[in-house]
């Protein structure tokens, strides 16, 4: 049965529309429809091609999913050689290039150049016949490369069919396949999660993705394409200059650089280079220089070639962002939250125009994954203002069995214990109250509203006090002299007195607030309340073993270990004692270690209970083993109501959940007395 003409026409219209929308999205950066509208067109074409096998076409926009794995790549001979470019590394070399070219051409007037950033990717050749992509190949040795057509078809920004009706019979387009930084980072995260290969940089990721034998995997990689030249053309006449030729490629559906410019002289080229260098770290992709090409095609032919490069083009390279040097040692820095970060000490080397002697190694997992050892020759990368990082060791240059970096057992700043929590890569110093590296954050947390609630002690004031050495720990807050506080920036006698009054008032607190204020890792407000209610006094908590701690609601093995390690540090205990000596106190709470009368029950509190704050009521219930929830469900044991209860009562009635008043609440918490 012949294919209905209406179906043929609809499929052709859909393909044309999708190709035009791809052009607007990838080439013009001016989409005309939403992603959802595009998806509707795409799915309709997919549906037609599935229903009518005769519609199958290699140039259809639907054919980007990849095909069955290949066993190898065939060799492809380039009809026109893909030559390299000569490089310049400073302005003198650029000026010399321009002088040589003008001498060769006997051209005294300034020469016009076409300029664009030099993408750091993989050079490819795309051959179109009658507008359809027929073959794609790597640059290879310039004379021949590898046939990567199946993989290139999966790159969304590469047109499978060119736009327009007056197309050349054959055109070979040269360009760069690359990976944007965001896509590269997402790919590496995914590779780490799945145990796959992690790539050193976007260029390696792009090159590796294009040379996969399974194009279905290539289809999943975030690859992009940018045209930079034309190798051959048959059946059409090109515009007479490089810049206009690039605009021609853009018009027929191929992306070109958005930063491409036509420049009037070599001085303009130098200005352009400086502008792009300034933008380098703001771009969404890696570049390693700028390419300048003589614009006039007639003059290009007249200038000719040397053995491996055209005389009329040059790449003005940026300062290297990746270099090799020796790893001399690994030190460990302590961050504001106590995390220890390994830092590489390097033989000084220029990276990106800056001398570098230190670089981050991220964490111990990264060191182990990359197999970095002290004494290795390593690759160091720096991008703009980003902290330099050690990318990888150069294994071919490793000399013998070199030592592996070891995480210290004690903090290099305060000599407190260093711990790693299960399932986490970070190692942390647990001397939060005494560690100078963590001092500012510890004091800010201690003074916060839900901790000691020291009104007027804001972040900037804390930073001033620490930087001027007025306080070394939270205990020093309660011994601040009025004159020193009044002498701080934006402080006066009245505001200083107000702060000291607030410090005095903060001494009257609760045990739960005090526990929370200590900043024990993963001990939040709720856990602090449970600990206070369960142990009743600070000494009992400080001396509790891990097993006892785990009897408390919300306290699992990790939190119990954190608490035990915190109080095992003599420095931490000394600060706690200083705080108590300074007058911090709280009402005594009856310990409830053996009064778990409400264990397994869940309560919701609604309204105001006479004589109890919401937090106090919740703590008393938790101390007896109950769970306190913020919402009513069928699993709720009862809703406890005070004055002005809210909508939770109505929901409890709907679900048949018991409703208790003040007297029933007091009976609950008094059952063990």
Residue bearing tokens 């270099």: 323
Partnered with residue 322 across adjacent β-strands are: 381
**How far is 513 from 552, CA to CA, in rounded Å?**
17
Phi, psi of 254 (to 5 degrees): -110, 135
- Tokens linked to 121: 């990717």
Element (H, E) at 446: helix 439-447
8 Å CB contact between 309 and 329: no
Q: Which helix (H) or strand (E) holds 177?
A: strand 170-179
Query: Alpha carbon of 68 to those of 136, 151, 158, 214, 670: distances in Å?
Result: 17, 11, 20, 6, 73
Within the chain, how many helices (H) and strands (E) appear? 24, 22
Q: Of the residues 118, 293, 370, 444, which is catalytic?
A: 118
Q: Can you read off the two tokens belonging to residue 536? A: 């009743």
Cα dihedral 202→204→207→209 (10° resolution): -80
Label residue 292 exposed, middle or buried (CB < 10 Å: 0-12, 13-18, 19+).
Answer: buried
Q: Quick one: which of 342, 340, 336 has its CA closest to 370? A: 342
Least Cα distance to 155 among 130, 183, 191, 182 occurs for 183
Whole-angstrom distance, CA of residue 650 vs CA of residue 654: 6
- At residue 201's C-alpha, the angle toward residues 196 and 207, to 5°, is 75
Contacts of 129 by beta carbon, 8 Å cutoff, 6+ apart = 169, 170
Distance CA 504, CA 363 (A): 42
d(CA 60, CA 49): 9
Task: Give Rg (Cα) of the chain.
Answer: 35
Question: In this structure, what token pair is assigned to residue 588?
Answer: 């005594």
Phi-psi region of 29 (alpha: psi -120 to 50; beta: other; left: phi over 0): left
Which residue is listed with tokens 């890696």? 286
Residue 383 near residue 201, CB atoms below 8 Å: no
Residue 214 Rama label (left phi>0; alpha psi -120 to 50; beta): beta
Residue 370 designated active-site = no
Per-residue b or e along 293-303, where b marks 16 or more CB atoms closer than 10 Å to that residue's CB: bbbbbebbeeb
DSSP at 669: H
**Rounded to 5 degrees, what are φ and ψ at 625?**
95, 0
CB 87 within 8 A of CB 317: yes
- 209, containing H or E segment: helix 202-210
Residues designated catalytic: 118
């Amino acid at each position: 049965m012949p294919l209905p003409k209406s179906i043929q026409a609809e499929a052709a219209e859909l393909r044309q529309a999708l190709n035009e929308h791809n052009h607007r999205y990838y080439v013009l950066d001016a989409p005309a429809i939403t992603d959802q509208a595009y998806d509707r067109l795409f799915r309709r074409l997919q549906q037609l091609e599935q229903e009518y096998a005769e519609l199958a076409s290699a140039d259809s926009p639907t054919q980007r999913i990849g095909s069955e794995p290949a066993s190898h790549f065939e060799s492809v001979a380039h009809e026109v050689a893909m030559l390299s470019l000569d490089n310049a590394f400073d302005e003198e070399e650029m000026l010399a290039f321009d002088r040589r070219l003008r001498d060769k051409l006997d051209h005294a007037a300034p020469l016009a150049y076409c300029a664009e950033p030099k993408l750091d990717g993989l050079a490819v050749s795309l051959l179109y016949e009658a507008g359809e992509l027929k073959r794609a190949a790597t640059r290879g040795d310039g004379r021949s490369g590898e046939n990567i057509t199946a993989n290139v078809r999966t790159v969304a920004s590469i047109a499978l069919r060119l736009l327009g009706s007056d197309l050349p019979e054959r055109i070979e387009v040269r360009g760069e396949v690359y990976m944007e930084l965001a896509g590269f980072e997402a790919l590496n995260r995914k590779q780490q999660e799945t145990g796959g290969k992690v790539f050193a940089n976007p260029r390696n990721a792009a090159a590796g993705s294009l040379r996969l034998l399974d194009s279905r995997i290539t289809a999943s990689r975030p690859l992009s394409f940018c045209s930079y030249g034309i190798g051959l053309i048959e059946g059409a006449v090109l515009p007479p200059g490089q810049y206009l030729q690039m605009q021609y490629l853009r018009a027929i559906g191929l992306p070109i650089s958005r930063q491409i410019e036509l420049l009037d002289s070599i001085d303009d080229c130098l200005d352009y280079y400086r502008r792009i260098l300034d933008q380098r770290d703001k771009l969404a992709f890696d570049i390693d220089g700028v390419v300048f090409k003589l614009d006039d095609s007639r003059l290009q032919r007249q200038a000719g070639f040397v053995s491996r490069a055209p005389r009329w083009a040059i790449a003005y390279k940026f300062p290297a962002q990746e270099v090799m040097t020796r790893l001399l040692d690994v030190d460990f820095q302590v961050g504001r939250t106590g995390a220890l970060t390994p830092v590489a000490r390097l033989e000084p080397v220029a990276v990106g125009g800056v001398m570098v002697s230190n670089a981050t190694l991220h964490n111990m997992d990264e060191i182990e994954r990359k197999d970095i050892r002290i004494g290795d020759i390593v690759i160091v990368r720096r991008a703009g203002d980003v902290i330099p990082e050690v990318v990888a060791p150069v294994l071919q240059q490793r000399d013998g069995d070199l030592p592996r970096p070891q995480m210290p057992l004690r903090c290099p700043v305060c000599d407190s214990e260093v711990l790693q929590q299960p399932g986490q890569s970070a190692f942390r110093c647990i001397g939060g109250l005494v560690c100078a590296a963590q001092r500012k954050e510890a004091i800010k947390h201690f003074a916060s509203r839900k901790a000691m609630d020291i009104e007027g002690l804001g972040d900037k004031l804390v930073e001033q006090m620490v930087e001027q050495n007025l306080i070394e720990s939270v205990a020093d807050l309660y011994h601040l002299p009025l004159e020193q506080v009044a002498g701080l920036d934006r402080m006066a006698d009245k505001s200083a007195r107000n702060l000291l009054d607030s410090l005095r008032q903060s001494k009257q607190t609760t045990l739960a607030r005090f526990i929370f204020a200590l900043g024990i890792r993963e001990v939040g407000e709720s856990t602090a309340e449970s600990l206070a209610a369960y142990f009743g006094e600070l000494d009992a908590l400080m001396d509790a073993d891990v097993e006892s701690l785990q009897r408390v609601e919300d306290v699992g093995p990790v939190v119990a270990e954190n608490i035990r390690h915190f109080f095992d540090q003599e420095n931490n205990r000394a600060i706690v004692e200083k705080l108590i000596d300074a007058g911090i106190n709280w009402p005594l709470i009856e310990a409830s270690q053996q009064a778990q009368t409400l264990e397994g029950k869940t309560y919701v509190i609604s309204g105001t209970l006479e004589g109890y704050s919401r937090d106090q009521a919740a703590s008393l219930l938790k101390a007896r083993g109950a769970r306190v929830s913020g919402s009513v469900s069928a699993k709720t044991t009862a809703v406890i109501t005070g004055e002005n209860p809210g909508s939770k009562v109505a929901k409890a009635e709907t679900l048949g959940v018991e409703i208790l008043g003040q007297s029933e609440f007091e009976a609950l918490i008094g059952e063990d007395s």
